[in-house]
Structure 1
Amino acid sequence: MKTMETLAEELHLDSHLSLEDIPDLNLYMDQVIQLFERKFADTKRNEDEKVLTKTMINNYAKGKLFFPVENKRYSKEHLILISMIYQMKGALSINDVKTVLARLNEKITNDEGFDIQELYTCYLQMVSSNTEKFKADLQDHHHEASEAIRKLEDKDEEYLEQLMLIAMFTNMSNYYRRAAEKLVDELGADQETK
């Protein structure tokens, strides 16, 4: 089994769309797709997987996950929202993502003093911090799984350790997803009362 350092490297945890990656001029859909493919290519599970497609973007637009596009061109604000959608859709339903981003879309279009780039910078700083915490957690989980499996004194130790790690990782993932869903439900209830 590979080391946790190798696993973390292979996950390409530093793959994200930075503000510097987003041009100041508005992009056509094909350019948006190329930008995302280039930035997130290493995070794909296999070569056939697509990071972003025209259908996905059209569905996001039809579903009102981001404010309307002008002249078939996507602004920096659109790209930030698409990046956030890309990150959230791995754990949340599209309806949940819509609920989360509804008020943000309003703020972008109606609140002239609101700076989404500042919010996104804060988000990216937290992502960086989370990356370091995640790497440390990988080590902790690996140590814990190794200790538990060693006590079983089974010949198939490597497989059992991998099984235990997979079970622990999915368990933690479920905890975080469920916590996010609870917050989405709260947000949805708040939006319904307004």
Structure 2
Amino acid sequence: MIQSEELLQKLSLESTIKEEEIPEIDLYMDQVIQLFDSKFAKTLRNDEEKVLTKTMINNYAKGKLFIPIKNKKYSKQHIMLISMIYQLKGTLSINDIKATLDPINKRLESENFELEQFYSTLVHLQKKNAENISKQIRILEKEIELEEAQEELKQISFIASLASMSNAFRKAAEIMVDGLLENNKEDKKK
């Protein structure tokens, strides 16, 4: 059975792009992809997976998941928004991501919104989440080790437990997206 420390190392839970790591100058798409590859490549399941592709970025732009780009260059704000999309896409549908990021995009277009401060808060929360997840995985491993079962069955128990937690968190996120959509509908009625 994979031990929790080995699993946690492979998860690379703290992989992220910090605000201060994003260049102040605007980047072309290839440079954006290189930045994401340098930060997230070790989080991929296999060599066939891609962190980010031109098609993905174009689809995010067409789907209006982030503010419009200018002169085929991506600003620091775009990088932050693409990073948020990257973090959300493993759990939420594109429509749910759009609903989640829509209030941020509207604020960016209509008011003086400090995306950098908001993004730094998200990165800080991600670090705290990584710590909590690490603790929870270690606790789960200890509980499973107490089972009187073959190693393969213990591993299956571990997998099922992780999937159960993942499903609960995904469902909680979807419920919150639905609440955000409902609030937006109420605001439009006013």
2:152 corresponding residue in structure 1: 159
Letter in 2 for 1:177: R
Normalised by the size of structure 2, how large is the TM-score?
0.96
1:125 corresponding residue in structure 2: 124
Matched, 1:29 2:29: yes
CA distance in 2, matches of 1:105, 1:170: 32
Alignment identity in percent? 47
CA distance in 2, matches of 1:186, 1:134: 25
Query: 1:45 aligns to what SS in structure 2?
Result: coil
Q: Number of paired residues?
A: 187
Residue pair 2:2, 2:155 contacting (<8 A) in 1 also: no
Letter in 2 for 1:68: P
CA distance in 2, matches of 1:115, 1:188: 23
Query: 1:33 aligns to what SS in structure 2?
Result: helix
Q: What residue ranges of structure 1 are gaps of 5+ in the alignment?
A: none
Q: What residue ranges of structure 2 are gaps of 5+ in the alignment?
A: none
1:184 corresponding residue in structure 2: 177
CA distance in 2, matches of 1:125, 1:192: 30
2:144 corresponding residue in structure 1: 145
Query: 1:74 aligns to what SS in structure 2?
Result: coil
2:20 corresponding residue in structure 1: 20
CA distance in 2, matches of 1:19, 1:71: 23
1:51 corresponding residue in structure 2: 51
Residue pair 2:100, 2:177 contacting (<8 A) in 1 also: yes
CA distance in 2, matches of 1:15, 1:44: 11
- Which of the pair has the greater relative contact order for Cα pairs under 8 Å at 6+ separation? 2
CA distance in 2, matches of 1:49, 1:17: 19
Query: 1:34 aligns to what SS in structure 2?
Result: helix
Give the aligned CA root-mean-square deviation in angstroms. 0.9
2:105 corresponding residue in structure 1: 105
Query: 1:27 aligns to what SS in structure 2?
Result: coil
CA distance in 2, matches of 1:125, 1:67: 24
Letter in 2 for 1:75: S
CA distance in 2, matches of 1:4, 1:15: 18
Letter in 2 for 1:9: Q
Query: 1:144 aligns to what SS in structure 2?
Result: helix
Kindly provide the CA deviation profile for residues 149-188 of structure 1, in whole angstroms up to 9, marking residues without a partner as x.
Answer: 31xxx4xx11011000000000000000000000001111
Query: 2:69 aligns to what SS in structure 1?
Result: coil
User: How much has 1:82 moved relative to structure 2?
Assistant: 0.2
Letter in 1 for 2:140: H
Normalised by the size of structure 1, how large is the TM-score?
0.94
Matched, 1:92 2:85: no
